[in-house]
Amino acid sequence: MLAEILGRATRMPVVDAKDGERVEAEHVYVLPPGAILTIRGARLHLRRTGRSDRERAPIDVFFNALAEDQGEHAIGIVLSGGGHDGTVGIKAIKENGGLTIAQGSNVSRPRFAEMPSSAVAAGFVDLELPVEEIPGRIIAYVRNWGAFDPEKPGDALAKIYGLLRSRTGHDFSDYKERTFQRRIQRRMQVVQTTKLDEYAERLQKDPDEVHSLFRDLLIGVTDFFRDVTAFQALETLVIPKLFEGRGADDEVRVWVAGCSTGEEAYSIAILLREQAERLVAPPKVQVFATDIDEAAMGVARAARYPANLVKEVSPERLTRFFVNEAGMYQVVKELRDMCIFSTHSVIRDPPFSRLDLISCRNLLIYLKPTLQAQIIPLFHYSLRSGGYLFLGGSENLSRYGELFVTLDRKSRIFRRRDLASRPPLPLRQFLPTSRRGTAGMEESQGGSARTCCAGSLRRSSSVLPPLT
């Protein structure tokens, strides 16, 4: 009776959603009981559920479909409700450039605050507003679409760089300007500011907005086995080599840098697990997955993903490594136990060492050459003799032929060259610190893995790389 009840409060038509129905303006569509709702091509699609088909996250499922279908034009709102449904879906909308809102305020809380509070705590909400203010903000947002275009950044952009550096401890000056300005423009649209210098002044006065911009700069897009051909090459050319000549007393160590919400780390863990299962006495396998975004780490550790993110996973792997919860897929425990997730900056924190494989995909493309020139030698340092580096499709090491040999140019797979003498590492600006680093992370997992980190080194100020 929900459609009938809601219909008493509005002049708009309120109807139960129907399969194949095109979405019309000024209409309200209600999820009917016993169904899962998605959207494709601006048409609603329903799948009926049986008694044994328990749908645990219908809002996550729909929000993910909405984000994929509508991109930056999607708007997701999490209202009063119990549980955590909506949090993963809000993330998808945010990643695709849409607007995200949660019901709430500092004065009055929703009657059932768990759902909106979960979305806010995850860091994926643009605006937290009392429900009475939400319609006006949506209308203003849509009416001013495209009006925010900082053409001449000048001093205002330099001021924003400085504010981020002083307030967050991270320097974005080596972040590619086009991407940086696009993320600023999005925040300007959210807060309804049309001039860049006005936005810089707002950042000066509003620490919360600095944090919101910082979070937007971290948002990335990833899914399982992204770029299938490259992962097939990794599976064929690299994974078997990691296990050659190793037994139960040995260890295979992998680092996934800039892992975002964990999809890439689990994809590589699947390949490693499948190879280990072919051996009589396989070595221990450990995947260290790191990022500077703690909210993303929370999603990675929870390891629950909507169906559209596992579309490149084969049916056999879905059955073997995931538990299907009617629209959401939970990574099995044995795979989760292989992966250690921790916040870590590629530049600021001490590097790992004795690694067999480093995967750092679609991170370097956001960074200027000066910063890339610091990261690549660190990767060379971190790898064992003959270790492998796996980059994104638009990244290459053409300037670093003395450090790496190309194994598969198309798939961006490289092997470490063994040098008579190591190149100088860019460690001049690292300082001793008692800050929790990678060694502490590994010790917290049982102490069996050790990290050689070139001492207790840390760079006093550094660029914070974006997520993959």
pLDDT at 174 over 50: yes
331: closest CA among 262, 285, 282?
A: 262
233 CB neighbour count, 10 Å cutoff: 18
Name the range with the highest mean pLDDT among 289-303, 429-443, 450-464.
289-303
pLDDT value at residue 97: 83
Whether residue 430 contacts residue 334, with contact meaning beta carbons closer than 8 Å, is answered with no
pLDDT value at residue 100: 93
377: closest CA among 358, 362, 394?
A: 358
> What is the rounded CA–CA span in Å between residue 170 and residue 168?
5
CATH topology agreement for domains 2-143 and 228-443: yes
pLDDT value at residue 154: 67
pLDDT at 466 over 50: no
Tens digits of residue pLDDT in 3-44: 999 999 999 999 999 999 999 999 999 998 888 899 999 999
For residues 350-377, average pLDDT: 85
**The overall pTM is greater than 0.85:** no
Task: Take residue 468 and report the two structure tokens written for it.
Answer: 């993959």
pLDDT at 428 over 60: no
pLDDT value at residue 108: 66
Identify residue 131 by its one-letter amino acid code: V
pLDDT value at residue 220: 64
Between 146 and 235, the higher pLDDT residue: 235
The domain limits of the chain are: 2-143, 154-218, 228-443
Whether residue 173 contacts residue 164, with contact meaning beta carbons closer than 8 Å, is answered with no
Whether residue 214 contacts residue 295, with contact meaning beta carbons closer than 8 Å, is answered with no
For residues 133-143, b (16+ Cβ closer than 10 Å) or e, as one string? ebeebbeebee
> What is the rounded CA–CA span in Å between residue 365 and residue 371?
11
Q: Which residue has the tokens 């390949």?
A: 271
Task: Take residue 386 and report the two structure tokens written for it.
Answer: 């003959």
Tell the CATH superfamily of the 228-443 domain.
Vaccinia Virus protein VP39 (3.40.50.150)
Q: How far is CA 394 from CA 115, 241, 254, 259, 309, in A?
A: 38, 25, 22, 17, 21
CA angle 374, 375, 379 (to 5 degrees): 130
Q: Which residue has the tokens 């729909």?
A: 62
Q: How far is CA 357 from CA 74, 260, 289, 443, in A?
A: 38, 18, 12, 20
For residues 422-436, average pLDDT: 46
Long-range contacts formed by 151-156: CB under 8 A, 24+ apart: 152/196, 153/177, 153/181, 153/196, 155/197, 156/196, 156/197, 156/199, 156/200
pLDDT at 447 over 70: no
For residues 333-361, average pLDDT: 90
Task: Take residue 454 and report the two structure tokens written for it.
Answer: 């070139």
Task: Take residue 73 and report the two structure tokens written for it.
Answer: 């034009």
DSSP state of 46: E
Number of H helices, E strands in the chain: 17, 17
pLDDT value at residue 77: 96
pLDDT value at residue 191: 86
Tens digits of residue pLDDT in 114-134: 888 888 877 788 889 999 999
Whether residue 449 contacts residue 253, with contact meaning beta carbons closer than 8 Å, is answered with yes
Whether residue 341 contacts residue 300, with contact meaning beta carbons closer than 8 Å, is answered with yes
CATH number for the 2-143 domain, one of 3.40.50.180, 3.40.50.300, 1.10.760.10, 3.40.50.150? 3.40.50.180
